[in-house]
Structure 1
């Protein structure tokens, strides 16, 4: 997991450092250049953390998946999902613009569809009951006493 220094920079320096970081990403001329930069900059756990947050945003925008399904699929805590969800509710313009534009692009829409096809939407009813999946039903039927 990523570590943050216990020593804080002044807000003025922090803003400048953040600006440099954003400008570095913006200045890349190609996707390859951006990927190389991020691979050099981020550790594997940091890349995974960011990718999972983007995936959470996709799944929340689809509005088909429960917290439990998102958590089980991406192996993340409900707190992480809630953090992304609250970012949508309070200040989600960045998520909505970038991911919304991302979804509109055909090639990306196909990869998103492939990702979402790996996950089954919720089968819960309004009362919170869960329908048994066919494999579970057949297993229970086989185990019934004669």
Structure 2
């Protein structure tokens, strides 16, 4: 992520700048505008890491273990621990956004693909075919329960 200057900014000025930034992001009305804004604001590394953090939060909320998350998303345990800490010490932003996203079918389908990728990764690590089939069965039951709750 980006480096922060050692020179301290007045806290009131910093808060005001942040409020303006939030207002600018909120003003982006279309997906295209959001993409354009984020392309300008974020470095290529940030454009990769921020979505990964969102996926980490989703997978942690779904009770996936850190080793599986690390293997599938190619992230360090430190990154996973940071997101986990954010979730346990508040994490309201993550939880709010992920709850909203789950209600949208398009995003939910993408997140399900990520879950399926993790299941297949676990199966390839674990070995026998019956393990993979067992994981698939658990996933189907889990999906059925989630569908019933909506």
Normalising by structure 1, we get a TM-score of 0.79
Structure 2: gaps (5+ residues) = 130-150
Residue number in structure 2 paired with 1:20? 20
Q: CA RMSD in A?
A: 1.9
Matched residues, number = 127
Residue number in structure 2 paired with 1:50? 50
In structure 2, how many angstroms separate the alpha carbons of the residues matched to 1:53 and 1:15?
A: 24
Give the drift of 1:132.
3.7
Residue number in structure 2 paired with 1:87? 86
> Which structure has more helix as a fraction of its residues?
2
Distance 1:109 1:132, change over 3 A: closer
Give the drift of 1:39.
0.5
In structure 2, how many angstroms separate the alpha carbons of the residues matched to 1:61 and 1:122?
A: 19
In structure 1, how many angstroms separate the alpha carbons of the residues matched to 2:103 and 2:8?
A: 39
In structure 2, how many angstroms separate the alpha carbons of the residues matched to 1:121 and 1:4?
A: 39
Normalising by structure 2, we get a TM-score of 0.77
Structure 1: gaps (5+ residues) = 124-130, 136-146
Query: Highest Rg: 1 or 2?
Result: 1
